[in-house]
Chains A and B, each alone.
Chain A
């Protein structure tokens, strides 16, 4: 068997057979799902039931709120009891002692100031969730609104028309078919970019650790008496890359399954569009922009996303970006004796990576900015940035950016792999010597 293939096989099997890999592969999606479900549960439910006492000595609010809702064209009475909130009204202000001994858990005190600037005192026995607090606040707000409309002698309908908001209806002249989709699609791209970013970081560091392990265990000299250092480095990079790819694919599948099951149980499939496309989309969904969509809207949105382009770009930038960074990680591993010594060289990889990540986050906010164009072309940041750009679609006007970016990335990773290989082959046999950037430069030009 070809020697690189042998090395790839070893690097791959050793890691895939590890308990930690198997556990993380199954646990990752479960944890992720649990986190999402947990967040939803925490946000939506506060299991304690609240008895709210609204004290309004003037009695204005109570009198009209309960009676006048239909006349005012409201859908339902204010302060309607729900499962976890029961309202009671009184005009008599209790003492704190009274409140303590009562069955009420929350107490809102309305006074003359409240009618003017909306300030109320809120007493609690135990702090309610933000959701409950918002609900009470909202009810009070619109009740007071109603009271003021009446007080100023306005008609409710007139007031409603005064209060009418504004909607910006987006028309992109350059891309006439697209509405506000663009930003959300950038969100999808950002999800993929996040996967690439995490992947490069986690598995790049594994490459570095693998190299250091071979150095410290002194197995390296035995190995390179059988294979060329460059073969060993490439075998390691590719083998570990495949481990990462395996994990990402398994995560996508398991997450999809887990989401489908959870969504079915919760009966809210529409809220979790992540089921359709697994991990990456779920992460975009976690951003919140998508869960707000109505069912059919989200479907048409999903159809608008250029999936083919995204998948191809994802595979290309995933592999290209990993080769580029992993070979740098390998060179760093070769240049040091232990993981603690890697600190001085880590900025070479971490700064461009984090920078690319930040740029893509901005790109999400401002999809057509110049920053995206520039850093989408620069190879060190392009793997992350270009995912966001691709999710927004390419056309004849800007496709040159993609082509340039791809060509530059290929050229750069060939260059980087070569450079890293030169440093690697010298570094792996150097012990007990703290390398400097200057020395790495010298190593690159050693003969033979």
Chain B
């Protein structure tokens, strides 16, 4: 079942096209990565999902219904540009934000107490935001985003401003929420967390989706059939073994072994490579070089941009 489907969204701001026929579809209970360079249109899309702005064309569906104003109570949004009322007490502020999401005052208070304990910030209730550090304020913001137990969580750069310990705390909370059935849209430039957390991604560049699919799929698509082979033996034997069929990209000495980077052509496979080398070389290890999301991001974007130019 789809928690969210955005179909053929178009949005322009005074002549500038922010979104051009963008469609995303988020499966229930998954973490969906929304990637893309700055200014690509991610925030525009997120604002449309949050009904902060409306699309010029296209439609958004939430749990099989056309998106409606009351759905905001079932969505939690942590914007990239986020803040709190500086002069307000933390507790009052959280109560206010929770009630705006439709929670009753008693329920909000009870849940807040739970979360404050879990994040070990229960002594902050009467503190003012201006007395908190940035990281502390971020914790409070995360709580206010998830407090009403939204079915869909939209987190825009949730880790920015956190130290590694707190970033990990947020990561664990995301996984816990996911395991409890929440669906999460994660927009971030931190490709490490994309690999770690996301099931599916969409890469938006220059207002359109240029890459989408499960993380595994996307990675497969970007495999180049390149392997790293560690061996003992003479380089001349390596050259003879590879012949003209396999392409040697790199070869370097590490202690008493050599590590060669080799690309296998489409009509051969790893067995063919090993078969060709086994006779004269002692193979120590072999593994495929799989591109990480960071490389995929850069490659996809630069390829698209150069095609457009």
A-side residues, CB < 8 A to B, are 1, 3, 6-7, 10, 14, 213-214, 217-219, 221-228, 429, 431, 442, 446-448
CB atoms of A222 and B69 under 8 A apart: no
Known: A1-B99, A14-B88, A228-B69. A222 touches B52 (CB 8 A): no
Q: For residue A232, which residue of chain B has the nearest CB?
A: B100
- Closest chain-A Cβ to B93's Cβ sits at a distance in Å of 9
Stretch at the interface among B76-84, B112-120, B213-221, B259-267: B76-84
- Closest chain-A Cβ to B297's Cβ sits at a distance in Å of 25
CB atoms of B84 and A217 under 8 A apart: yes
Majority SS of interface residues in chain B?
A: loop
Known: A224-B52, A225-B52, A448-B56. A218 touches B81 (CB 8 A): yes
User: In this assembly, does B188 line the interface, its C-beta being within 8 Å of a C-beta of chain A?
Assistant: no
Within 8 A of A (CB), among B35-76: 47, 50-56, 69, 72-73, 75
CB atoms of A221 and B54 under 8 A apart: no
- Closest chain-A Cβ to B15's Cβ sits at a distance in Å of 10
Known: A222-B97, A226-B100, A226-B101. A14 touches B82 (CB 8 A): no
20 pairs, A vs B, C-beta closer than 8 Å: A3-B100, A6-B100, A7-B100, A14-B87, A14-B88, A217-B86, A218-B83, A221-B77, A221-B82, A222-B77, A222-B84, A222-B144, A223-B97, A225-B75, A225-B77, A226-B97, A226-B101, A228-B69, A448-B54, A448-B55
CB atoms of A217 and B85 under 8 A apart: yes
Chain A residues within an 8 Å CB radius of B55: 448
Given contact pairs A14-B87, A223-B97, a sample of 13 additional A-B residue pairs in the complex whose CB atoms are under 8 Å apart: A14-B85, A14-B88, A217-B84, A218-B79, A222-B83, A225-B52, A225-B72, A226-B101, A429-B52, A431-B81, A446-B13, A447-B54, A448-B53
Q: How large is the interface on B (under 10, 10 to 19, 20 to 34, 35 or more residues)?
A: 20 to 34
Between A214, A226, A442, A447, the greatest number of chain B beta carbons within 10 A of the residue's beta carbon is seen for: A226
Between A223, A224, A429, A431, the greatest number of chain B beta carbons within 10 A of the residue's beta carbon is seen for: A224
Chain A residues within an 8 Å CB radius of B207: none
- Closest chain-B Cβ to A277's Cβ sits at a distance in Å of 36
Q: For residue B83, which residue of chain A has the nearest CB?
A: A218
Chain A residues within an 8 Å CB radius of B73: 226
CB atoms of B100 and A221 under 8 A apart: no
CB atoms of A442 and B97 under 8 A apart: no
Q: Which of B52, B75, B88 contacts A221 (CB 8 A)?
A: B52
Chain B residues within an 8 Å CB radius of A10: 96
User: In this assembly, does B14 line the interface, its C-beta being within 8 Å of a C-beta of chain A?
Assistant: yes
Tell me, in angstroms, the Cα distance from A7 to B96 when the chains sit together.
8
Chain B residues within an 8 Å CB radius of A224: 52
Tell me, in angstroms, the Cα distance from A327 to B55 when the chains sit together.
26
Known: A6-B96, A223-B100. A447 touches B52 (CB 8 A): no
Q: For residue B49, which residue of chain A has the nearest CB?
A: A225
- Closest chain-A Cβ to B258's Cβ sits at a distance in Å of 54
Chain B residues within an 8 Å CB radius of A431: 81
- Closest chain-A Cβ to B307's Cβ sits at a distance in Å of 31
Chain B residues within an 8 Å CB radius of A226: 72-73, 97, 100-101
Chain A residues within an 8 Å CB radius of B96: 6, 10
- Closest chain-A Cβ to B265's Cβ sits at a distance in Å of 51
- Closest chain-A Cβ to B50's Cβ sits at a distance in Å of 4
Tell me, in angstroms, the Cα distance from A442 to B14 when the chains sit together.
8
Residues 242-276 of chain B, each 1 if its beta carbon lies under 8 Å from chain A, else 0: 00000000000000000000000000000000000
Chain B residues within an 8 Å CB radius of A223: 97, 100
Chain B residues within an 8 Å CB radius of A446: 13-14
Tell me, in angstroms, the Cα distance from A93 to B191 when the chains sit together.
104
Q: Which of B56, B77, B86, B100 contacts A227 (CB 8 A)?
A: B100
Chain A residues within an 8 Å CB radius of B75: 225
Tell me, in angstroms, the Cα distance from A431 to B81 when the chains sit together.
10
- Closest chain-B Cβ to A56's Cβ sits at a distance in Å of 72
Tell me, in angstroms, the Cα distance from A446 to B85 when the chains sit together.
28
CB atoms of A222 and B99 under 8 A apart: no
- Closest chain-B Cβ to A334's Cβ sits at a distance in Å of 14
Known: A6-B99, A6-B100, A442-B14. A222 touches B86 (CB 8 A): no
Chain A residues within an 8 Å CB radius of B72: 225-226
* Minimum-distance CB pairs A-B, first 5: A448-B54, A218-B83, A226-B100, A221-B79, A217-B83
- Closest chain-B Cβ to A297's Cβ sits at a distance in Å of 51
Chain A residues within an 8 Å CB radius of B69: 228
User: In this assembly, does B182 line the interface, its C-beta being within 8 Å of a C-beta of chain A?
Assistant: no
Tell me, in angstroms, the Cα distance from A6 to B99 when the chains sit together.
8
Tell me, in angstroms, the Cα distance from A383 to B159 when the chains sit together.
51
Chain A residues within an 8 Å CB radius of B81: 218, 221, 431
CB atoms of A222 and B141 under 8 A apart: yes
CB atoms of B79 and A222 under 8 A apart: yes
Q: For residue A9, which residue of chain B has the nearest CB?
A: B96
Tell me, in angstroms, the Cα distance from A349 to B285 when the chains sit together.
77
Tell me, in angstroms, the Cα distance from A447 to B73 when the chains sit together.
23
Chain A residues within an 8 Å CB radius of B85: 14, 213-214, 217, 219
Chain B residues within an 8 Å CB radius of A227: 100
Chain A residues within an 8 Å CB radius of B101: 226
Q: For residue A1, which residue of chain B has the nearest CB?
A: B99
Tell me, in angstroms, the Cα distance from A431 to B99 when the chains sit together.
28
Chain B residues within an 8 Å CB radius of A228: 69
Tell me, in angstroms, the Cα distance from A315 to B198 when the chains sit together.
58
- Closest chain-A Cβ to B38's Cβ sits at a distance in Å of 14
CB atoms of B82 and A218 under 8 A apart: yes
- Closest chain-B Cβ to A436's Cβ sits at a distance in Å of 13
Known: A6-B96, A218-B81, A219-B83. A225 touches B50 (CB 8 A): yes
CB atoms of B84 and A219 under 8 A apart: yes
Chain A residues within an 8 Å CB radius of B13: 446
Q: For residue A439, which residue of chain B has the nearest CB?
A: B14
- Closest chain-B Cβ to A427's Cβ sits at a distance in Å of 13
- Closest chain-A Cβ to B295's Cβ sits at a distance in Å of 32
Q: For residue A6, which residue of chain B has the nearest CB?
A: B99
- Closest chain-A Cβ to B264's Cβ sits at a distance in Å of 49
Tell me, in angstroms, the Cα distance from A102 to B92 when the chains sit together.
74
Q: For residue A13, which residue of chain B has the nearest CB?
A: B92
Chain B residues within an 8 Å CB radius of A3: 100
- Closest chain-A Cβ to B77's Cβ sits at a distance in Å of 4
Tell me, in angstroms, the Cα distance from A3 to B83 when the chains sit together.
20
CB atoms of B77 and A447 under 8 A apart: no
Tell me, in angstroms, the Cα distance from A219 to B97 when the chains sit together.
10
Tell me, in angstroms, the Cα distance from A223 to B83 when the chains sit together.
10
Tell me, in angstroms, the Cα distance from A429 to B87 when the chains sit together.
21
Chain B residues within an 8 Å CB radius of A213: 85-86
